[in-house]
Amino acid sequence: DVKVTQSSRYLVKRTGEKVFLECVQDMDHENMFWYRQDPGLGLRLIYFSYDVKMKEKGDIPEGYSVSREKKERFSLILESASTNQTSMYLCASSLDGINYGYTFGSGTRLTVV
Amino acid sequence: QQQVKQSPQSLIVQKGGISIINCAYENTAFDYFPWYQQFPGKGPALLIAIRPDVSEKKEGRFTISFNKSAKQFSLHIMDSQPGDSATYFCAASRGSSNTGKLIFGQGTTLQVKP
């Protein structure tokens, strides 16, 4: 089974800090995604990447950036954390989202104080 | 903008009953409609998916019904069990896109009472 591993289960950061959320997948998937999950809003796409060094903005990219230097690793960066970025962050990967669906990590619960 | 609208936000069903969750989409270019199931502390996992060339797909107790003209699709859980208690997300994407980028609904929290 494909595994998507998110480095931290819980994080508490201060306003203004630069925050790195790490995600690693072990099945050579081309596509990787970062979503945030908020009650009543579902999963909203922040950024995605369909190849190493390639990235595209999702629906809510403001305040975030990403890095994908290696195929298996996709990092989400909060340039200057704010309290409205307190959320559950989910990383996913897919070989081909149409035929194989997404495999999600267990999520990182980020609290910005 | 919310391109996939899901209802209800929460649902309580008695064991053995039928759970029904509905989704509506706006973009007629969408041609892949999966449902994901999420248990507490876990990431969502693919449950079942449908393409618009069929009106219904069944896998065990889970059935997707699809109405292309109404741009709606729904998940039916027959003989609901307490182990089905979870959050369910519908989603949609365009098959022509090689990234398979999914747009998710708002989620439905299902509680099945024993």
Which of A31, A43, A97 lies nearest to residue B104, judging by beta carbons? A43
Q: Which residue of A has its CA nearest to B96?
A: A98
Task: Examine the pLDDT at A68 and tell me if it is beyond 80.
Answer: yes
Residue corresponding to tokens 């007629």: B28
The radius of gyration of chain B from alpha carbons, rounded to an integer in Å, stands at 14
Q: What are the residues whose beta carbons fall under 8 Å from the beta carbon of B22, sequence distance 6 or more?
A: B6, B7, B8, B72, B73, B74
Identify the pLDDT of residue A99.
62
**CB of B102 within 8 Å of any CB in chain A?**
yes
Between CA A22 and CA B75 the distance in angstroms is 33
> How confident is the model over A66-73, as a mean pLDDT?
94
Task: Examine the pLDDT at B1 and tell me if it is beyond 60.
Answer: no
Residues of B in contact with A92 (CB under 8 A): 43
Tokens of A26: 């072990």
Lowest mean pLDDT among A82-86, B49-53, B81-85: B49-53
Q: Which residue of A has its CA nearest to B104?
A: A43
